[in-house]
Structures are given as C-alpha cells and as structure tokens.
Structure 1
Amino acid sequence: MQASETLLDRPAAFDERRHFQRVNVDLLGRFMLENRAEYPCRIENMSPGDLAALSPVSPRVGERVILYVDHVGRIEAAVSRLFAGGFAATVRASDRKREKLAAQLTWLANRHELNLPEDRRHERMAPRNPVVELALEDERRYRATIIDLSLSGAAVSCQVRPAIGTRIMLGTTLGRVVRHLEDGIAVEFARVGDGEALASRTD
C-alpha cells in the first residue's frame, strides 16, 4: 500500500484533517526527533493539517518532530501513525502559519500539474555577478556561471552535472538539480524567493 493511500484512506485520527485538502508532492527534507537526531525524508503528500513522509527511520507514535522541507521551510508536527517506510504526522501551527502553508501548497500543486521543473511564471533576473561557487554535499566545490535566474530557480553553466535530485549550494543558496542542460544544470531553489538574494549578491 502506498504512503499516500494509507494517509488518505484511513479514518482521520484528528478532526482537523477533515478541513484540509491534501496535495501530492515530491519534496526532499529532513526531520529532527526529540533527542535531536536528524534524518532525511521525502514528503509524499501534505495539507496545512497533516503530511505523509517517507523515511529510513521510524519515530515513535506521538513523538514531536521538526521537519525542514524544501519550498516549505520549518514545520512542527506530531507523529500520528507509522506505515511501511515512513510515517504520518499532524502539523502543529497557528492559523496564520496554516494559511501560509496553504498558499505554498497551492503553488506546488499548480507547478506539478503543469509539469514544470521550476516555476517559469517568475520573471527572469540578471545577477550582478554571474560567477558563483557551486558546492556538492560531499564538499567538492566548483566555479559556475549563472545563465538564467528567477525567484525559484536558475540555469547554471558548470563543469559537473550531478544527478537529478542532488542537493547543491549556489553560493549560500540551497537548491537541488532538476534537469541537465547541454553545458550545465537547472537548479530549483529550496524556497521561492531565494533567487532574489542570489541575483543581488556582489561578491
């Protein structure tokens, strides 16, 4: 049984689940347990009230966890149940935070419906300094040149082509590889808006 099926088909354990529409997503992230140990995860579906995460480690039911999810940011949650290969959790957030999360999920749903590896609706920007350092997770570093830049992603010319899905750093901006180009890669930023800071950097 798929993680999304277990979350959607099982009767709600919390009343608030019934008030939110879940969005199928494919977001990388990590989560921290109460003992501060951190592990990677992949969010399969999410609403402003709950989420389903795939993970190699299973937290305890009822345990409070803090998730850091690409495009979404920090989320506090409580584990509601476990399933094979992951867990479901109820989001703990203020009404204002839930509204913001709903807006982010709407954007993500539209992006995936259009099958866009990055949000092409955002205006393209010209960086003040197109030369940037590209760092991989294993700490290898390369000189790269930004060809094209928006609030949500960039096309980068570089001598390496990491696998699609690989996390990288462009300067101090976190992103992941979403497509290979003829002379480089297309990068999707971890948060919408990160491209503005990258465009204005002068170092």
Structure 2
Amino acid sequence: MRPAAVDLAPSRAERRNFQRVRIKIYGRFMLEDRSEHPCQVIDMSPGNVAFRADRQGAPGEKVIAYLDHIGRVEGVVTRNLDDGFAMTVIASDRKKDKLAAQLTWLANRHELDLPEDRRHERVAPRNPMSTLQLSDGREYQCRIIDLSLSGAAVEIDVRPALGVQVALGTMRGRVVRHFEDGVAIEFAVVQRPESLDSEFNGRQS
C-alpha cells in the first residue's frame, strides 16, 4: 500500500476547489505581524479565496480571516492582486465540505434574495468577545463573527439545539442555524443601534 496514492486522489472537496463562487461578504484578516485589516471577498471556493483589501500579505504569508456568515478561515497568500490578494485555504476535507455547503447557501441566498438575511446590515463589532448564556444558566465564552439589529453569528465550542432560547450578553434571542464554528442567533426583538453599540462596542469606544 502506498500512502502517497491517497494524497493524489482528489476528494470531492478538492474537485470543488475549481468552482469559485462570486459572493459579496465582508470580514477582517490578521497577518503574521498580528495586525488586523478589513476585507471583502471577491470570489471564493472551498480551497481558494480572493480578497479586496487595502493591505496585502506577502506571498507565502499565513493569514487568519474572520468572514461574515462563514467564520474563521486560515490560509496562505498565493499572489497579490491590484486591489487585494488571493490565498489558498488550509483546512481538512471535512471542513472544506462544510465550506462548500456554506458557499452554496450564500450563492443561493443572493439568487433568491432571502429577506431574513438582508433586512439588516451585518457588521463586525470592535469588541467581538462576549458570553452566551443558555436558559439553564450555563455560560460560554464566544466570539461574535458578525452582528446586526436582528441577530448575530457567533463562534463557540458548544452547539445549543435549534430554537433554544439564549442570551448574547444582555440580548435575548434564539438559535436559528448551526455552522462549522458556531451558531446564528435571532434576537427576540429588533435592537436599536445605540443598544448594540453600548453592549458590544462600549468597552473599546
């Protein structure tokens, strides 16, 4: 048995690497010097992503990106573009399969213009660290990926069941979706911008 033969056989996720999806999502990325910068995805596949950004990484440099609706993505810069850069995605086949499903959902959402995900602009808070409290009182540290007046996507180690009532900080809501690194929460009531700013940006204002 030759182990190398396993590596040479393309998985479903690797074949999908060539199927780039043009999506408009925002996020931020961190370079090896630990500086963070805003970015916008131009197109993406489970194995590659092209960013529009003011700052470019050097070819071969490792990058960690936090993207709206997707979460944490790690990779290596492959080339610089006129207004950004491209990188390969470093992930297991399982993670790439999950990413393919997320990209399919995002592409379909844009095609169908689903109102639940377009009614309020989503932004990344200046202070992303928060706590998620379950109805039984248990609390877990979490990182807010993106936030809007109607809900939030958070990176967290636990997966509360869909429909479970939770509190993100002092904002009450319910779990409406699971994804690879966390959950999406819909707030019980649409929040006021100043309430979100006070709750999630106040400590760094």
Equivalences for residues 154-173 of structure 1 within 5 A: 164=121, 166-167=123-124
Secondary structure of 2:104's counterpart equals helix
CA distance, structure 2, for counterparts of residue 195 and residue 43 of structure 1 = 30
Normalising to structure 1: TM-score of the pair?
A: 0.56
Query: 2:83 is aligned with what amino acid?
Result: G
> Taking structure 1 as reference, are residues 77 and 166 closer, same or farther at Cα in structure 2, changes over 3 Å only?
closer
Q: Which runs of 5+ in 2 are unaligned?
A: 1-13, 132-143, 171-205
Partner residue in 1 for 2:167: 201
Tell me if the contact between 1:154 and 1:188 (Cα under 8 Å) persists in the aligned partners.
no
Displaced runs of 4 or more, over 3 A: 16-20, 164-169, 171-177, 187-199
**Count of paired positions:** 139
* Pairing partner for 1:189 from 136, 152, 155: 152
CA contact (8 A) 2:67 2:145 kept: no
Q: 1:25 to 1:190 in 2, by over 3 A?
A: farther
Q: Pick from 71, 90, 93: which aligns with 1:92? A: 90
1:3 is matched with none
Kept after mapping to 2: 8 A contact 1:111/1:118: no
Alignment correspondent of 2:21: 23
Query: What is the match of residue 38 of structure 1?
Result: 36
Q: Pick from 157, 175, 184 the counterpart of residue 146 of structure 2.
A: 175
Contact 1:189 1:195 in 2 (8 A): no
Query: Is the counterpart of residue 59 in structure 1 residue 25 in structure 2?
Result: no
Aligned-residue Cα RMSD (Å) equals 3.5
Which stretches in structure 1 are left out of the alignment for 5+ residues? 1-15, 120-152, 156-163, 178-184
Whether the 8 Å CA contact 2:16–2:46 is kept in 1: the answer is no
Contact 2:71 2:145 in 1 (8 A): no
SS of the residue corresponding to residue 23 of structure 2 reads strand
TM (norm. structure 2) is 0.56
Say if 1:34 and 1:112 are closer, same or farther in 2 by CA, change over 3 A. same
Q: CA deviation at 1:55?
A: 0.6
Partner deviation per Cα, 1:99-118 (whole Å, 9 max, x = no partner)? 11011111111101112243
Distance 1:154 1:198 in 2: 23
